[in-house]
Amino acid sequence: MRRTDNKKKFSYRSQRFIWDPAPTRLFLKLWLENIDGLRGARVKTQIHREMAEKMQKYGPTHVEIKAKLDNMTKKYRIEMTKYRNSGQPSKWEYFSQVQEILKESKLVNLSLCMADSFDYSPMEDSESNDSADSNFNAFSPPAIANDETELARSPERAASIKSDSAYSANTYAPPQSNYSFNKTERILRIEEAKLAIQKEKLKLMKNIADNLSSIHRNFLKAYKMK
């Protein structure tokens, strides 16, 4: 009897949460309510746990909440990129709602120019419409690599390599692969974007401090005039 109960518990825990319309609507509502905290200095995991508690009647865990946030943000980037390239409005049913949530986020706006630098969360929701582009892989090597492999296997190519080996032994250096170069470039772009965001934050904080100082001076002047 205990073995049966354990199997049931294991089976229940191993099932992934299915994002039906009702829990998705509540999720979007909570996302909007917590967007400032998610952008700020609060611990993100704590926010995910709070959202999971409010969605307790549906049952997603805080890990599944995080995966949903990642997936829908990624989906929005892809749809926005398609829209900018084609001019055709997105057919994704949650596009407008996610756009409303993320429209003030400088981080998301900056990341749109490097959308291929991110991938879906490992806990990708295959049951939901927001994972329709899950086969998209930003880090897949160029397809031309297969053609180069076939050429290398051909007898003519082998003979050419053998005849040139004496000349190229000391002078030839294999070029850096496009994959490694592109990955490094993407990482640099991400770091540059992060630096730009930090500069914007510092500039904003300076403006706030200047405004507060001005208000304080005006208050003191008005107080002395009484």
Q: Which two tokens stand for residue 32?
A: 């909007």
**Rg over CA atoms, the chain:** 26
Q: Looking at residue 183, what is its pLDDT?
A: 72
The pTM of this model reads 0.44
Tens of pLDDT, residues 31-75: 999 998 898 888 999 999 999 999 999 999 999 999 999 999 999
21 or 148, higher pLDDT: 21
Tens of pLDDT, residues 127-152: 444 444 434 343 334 444 444 444 44
